[in-house]
Amino acid sequence: MTSKNVVRPPKLAPGSRVALIAPAGPLLERDDLTRGQELVRALGWEPVLGANAGNHEGYFSGSDAERLADLNASLKDDRIDGIWCLRGGYGMTRILDGVDFATARRRPKVVLGYSDITALLVPLFVETGLVTFHGPIAKTEMGPFARWHLDRVVTNVSAAGRLGRIKPPADTLVPQKDRIVTLLPGVAEGQLIGGNMTLLQCLIGTKWWPDLRGSILFVEDVHEDLSSIDRMFSHMRLTGKLEGIAGVLIGRFTEMEKGGDSGADGLDRVLEHYLAPLKVPVAYGFPVGHIDEQWTLPIGVKARLDATAGEVDLLEPAVV
């Protein structure tokens, strides 16, 4: 997918109708649905709850058929301007081959989520060129920084600018407790492509693996021990998927165990082992992933990574 093939969805404006769906894991509390709808209204949009969003079948939010029906109905409905996933969990890969990509290509719209939803965001971009959005899910309470950042990226057609340095109004700024760490200095430019590392690995060998050549790869994960992170990077390297990338933006690996019965290592050493041979800029610790105050990153949009300064610039808007 080259930049000239990229399709930017129309921006979300006051009164935009946003579908709330749960294509993967279930909502365990009734208030999750209410909270999601209230959040959509707080952002100035109109919530449209998926017919099966409150269902629960094992560790899914309904059967495969029900979850796929809500997703495809949201893609097909021309009255829907955006699709916001209520949660991640697991289940998107089970229904991926049934997604109506042709409709998504015909009627571009904002699609937002993260974690397991990576298995929707990246294939949508690969299949149709649609810019998708790796950002907060709708069921969780959104902090002021995350809300400001989401609104800035999906509603502003001129929202190209520095993510690493630009700050929201003082009363909305929530400081991040972790610093950005430069692993390999330098500056890189390319399309932002990435998401949850476990789900990206699941796409290897499918037609939905993205071409990372010339891109800035971003990854994050949760509940994975360091050896699992090591194994996933190893798989990417062995399959040649890291070749030709322009730079690497590492988000947060939250709740990560660094040691076990077989010993311990550090994240720096693991990242350096796989990424240093690429000789491209790499930095980690960015507010991307399973954290309360996170960036919304548009997949497919050109960006500049300054690994030395620990900054990221969007070079073009994500919406029209």
The catalytic residues are: 115, 220, 290
**Contact, 61 vs 24, CB < 8 A?**
yes
Nearest to 312 by CA among 149, 188, 173, 174: 188
Q: Checking DSSP bridges between strand 110-113 and strand 161-162, what pairing results, if any?
A: unpaired
Alpha-carbon Rg of the chain, whole angstroms? 18
CA of 295: how far to CAs of 148, 166, 192, 287, in Å?
A: 9, 12, 13, 6
**Contact, 317 vs 132, CB < 8 A?**
no
CA of 32: how far to CAs of 25, 26, 48, 296, in Å?
A: 12, 10, 14, 21
By three-state DSSP, how is residue 59 classified?
coil
